[in-house]
Copies of this chain bind each other. A is one copy, B any other.
């Protein structure tokens, strides 16, 4: 009855495994922890989101955010927009594609929860 090896366990790790395995098996891009954290920060916390703000929130250097925005932007999961109030700032905005991606991810977690319950 080792909880670390019990597939039917309610251990949160089992849920994470189920969800991640499903994500890998799907065609979803193989994002890093940092990239996923940025994406979720943009979509589940209220705007505005700036490069500096995200860097501070995650405790990483600015170029990390800049590069992640390049990649996530190329995937169409979010979008940059100049702040017209203060043109030094970049506002990170949501996209339809990003919302769809995270909606599917939410479903995937729900399915994992059902399977690992």
Contact = CB atoms under 8 A, between A and B. Distances in A.
Contact of A32 (B31, B58, B99): B31
Interface centre among A44, A47, A106, A110 (most CB of B within 10 A): A44
**Copies of this protein chain in the complex:** 2
A44 B44 CA distance: 29
Interface string A1-19: 0001101010111101100
Contacts of A21: 37, 40-41, 57-58
| Chain A interface residue number, banded | 35 or more
Interface stretch (A22-30, A69-77, A84-92): A22-30
Contact of A40 (B13, B25, B47, B60): B13
A33 B30 contact: yes
